[in-house]
Amino acid sequence: MEMQGTLMEQAQAELQKYYGYPDFREGQKKIVNNLLEGRDTLGILPTGGGKSICYQVPALLQPGLTLVVSPLISLMKDQVDALTTAGIPAAYINSTLSGKEVNDRIRAARRGELKLLYVAPERLELDWFRLEMAGLSISCVAVDEAHCVSQWGHDFRTSYLAVSPFVEELPQRPILAAFTATATPEVMEDMVRLLRLREPGVFMTGLGRDNLAMSVLRGENKREFVLDYAAQHAHQPGIVYAATRKEVDDLYQRLQAAGVTAGRYHAGMNDQERADSQEGFLYDDIRVMVATNAFGMGIDKSNVRYVIHYNMPKNMEAYVQEAGRAGRDGEPSDCILLFSAQDIMTQKFLIEQNPQDTERKANEYRKLQQMIDYCYTTRCLRSAQLDYFGESHDDDHCGICSSCTDERELVNITVDAQKIFSCIHRMRERYGVALVSSVLKGSRNQKVLQYGFEKLPTHGAMSSRSEKEITEIINMLISEGYLALSEGQYPVVRLQPLAAEVLRGQRQVHQRVARTLVTSGTRDRSRSRDTSPSAVNETVFEQLRLIRRELAGREHVPSYIIFNDATLREMSVVCPQTEAEMLRVKGVGEVKYRKYGKAFLEFFQNDM
SS3 letters across 173-221: CCEEEEEECCCCHHHHHHHHHHCCCCCCEEEECCCCCCCEEEEEEECCC
Dihedrals phi, psi of 412, to nearest 5 degrees: -75, 115
Report which of 200, 161, 152, 4 is spatially closest to residue 69, judged by C-alpha positions.
Answer: 161
User: What does the alpha-carbon distance between residue 118 and residue 116 come to, in Å, rounded to a whole number?
Assistant: 7
* Same domain flag for 30 and 115: yes
Q: Can you tell me the distance from the alpha carbon of 576 to that of 53, in angstroms, rounded to the nearest whole number?
A: 26
Determine whether 380 is exposed, middle or buried from the number of CB atoms within 10 Å of its CB (0-12, 13-18, 19+). Answer: buried
Q: Are residues 458 and 602 in the same domain?
A: no
**3-state secondary structure at position 467:** helix
518 part of a folded domain: no
Same domain membership, residue 552 and residue 498:
no
Q: How far apart are CA 81 and CA 92, in angstroms?
A: 10
Rounded CA gap, 14 and 32, in Å?
Answer: 12
Question: CATH code at 373?
Answer: 3.40.50.300
Q: Are 445 and 331 contained in the same domain?
A: no
For 223, the domain range is: 212-388
Asked if residue 149 belongs to a domain, the reply is yes
Q: What is the 3-state secondary structure (H, E, C) of 40-66?
A: CEEEECCCCCCHHHHHHHHHHHCCCEE
pLDDT of residue 163: 95
Treating both helix axes as pointing N-terminal to C-terminal, what angle do 538-555 and 565-574 enclose, rounded to 10 degrees?
130
Q: Does 533 map to a domain?
A: no
- pTM, whole model, 2 decimals? 0.70
Q: How many domains does the chain have?
A: 4
Chain centroid to CA 556: 27
For 405, residues 6+ apart whose C-beta sits below 8 A from its C-beta are 399, 520
Same domain, 245 and 377: yes
Contacts of 39 (CB under 8 A, 6+ apart): 175, 199, 200, 201
323 and 279 in a common domain:
yes
Going by C-alpha positions, the residue among 465, 494, 493, 496 that lies closest to residue 482 is 496
403 domain-assigned:
no
> What does the pLDDT look like over 445-469, one tens digit per residue?
999 999 999 999 999 999 999 998 9
Instruction: Return the SS3 of 338.
Output: strand
DSSP symbol at 366: H
Tens of pLDDT, residues 491-531: 899 999 989 999 999 989 988 765 444 444 433 443 333 44
User: What's the maximum distance between 2 C-alpha atoms anywhere in the chain?
Assistant: 85
Same domain, 482 and 559: no
Collect all residues with Cβ–Cβ distance below 8 Å to 59 and sequence separation of at least 6.
65, 66, 115, 116, 139, 140
Give CA–CA dist 491/435, Å, rounded.
12
Contact 243, 347 (CB under 8 A): yes
Query: Containing H/E element for 228?
Result: helix 222-232
Hey, is 309 helix, strand or coil? strand
Tell whether 522 is covered by a domain: no
Domain boundary among 473, 492, 511: 511
In a domain? residue 71: yes
**What local confidence, expressed as pLDDT, does residue 342 receive?**
82
Q: From residue 562, how far is each of 83, 551, 553 by CA, in Å?
A: 11, 8, 10
pLDDT at site 298: 55
CB of 382 within 8 A of CB of 216? no
Distance CA 559, CA 556 (A): 9
Give the bridge partners for 238, in sequence order.
Answer: 288, 306
- 10: part of which helix (H) or strand (E)? helix 2-14
DSSP class of 146: G
Strands (DSSP E) found in 486-551: 493-495, 510-512
Specify if 260 maps to a domain. Answer: yes
Look at the chain and count its residues.
Answer: 608
N-terminal to C-terminal alpha carbon distance within the chain = 49
589: domain CATH number is 1.10.150.80
**CATH at 489:** 1.10.10.10
Residues in the chain, pLDDT under 70: 1-5, 48, 153-154, 206-208, 296-299, 513-536, 607-608
336 and 244, same structural domain?
yes
Is residue 132 domain-shared with residue 218, that is, in the same domain? no
Question: Which among 170, 204, 238 is the end of a domain?
Answer: 204
* Boundary of a domain, candidates 204, 235, 261: 204
* pLDDT computed for residue 535 by the predictor: 55
The verdict on 243 and 338 lying in the same domain is: yes
Looking at the fold, whether 140 and 7 belong to one and the same domain comes out as yes
Written in H, E and C, the secondary structure of 422-434 is HHHHHCCCCCCHH
Distance CA 507, CA 336 (A): 32
In a domain, 526, yes or no: no
Reference 71, options 299, 284, 274; nearest CA is: 299
| Per-residue CA distances from 216 to 53, 413, 513, 520, 545 (Å) | 32, 22, 15, 11, 32
Type of residue at 265: Y
189 with 329, same domain? Answer: no
**Residue 569 has what pLDDT?**
87
pLDDT for position 1: 37
- How far is it, in rounded angstroms, from Cα 205 to Cα 85? 28
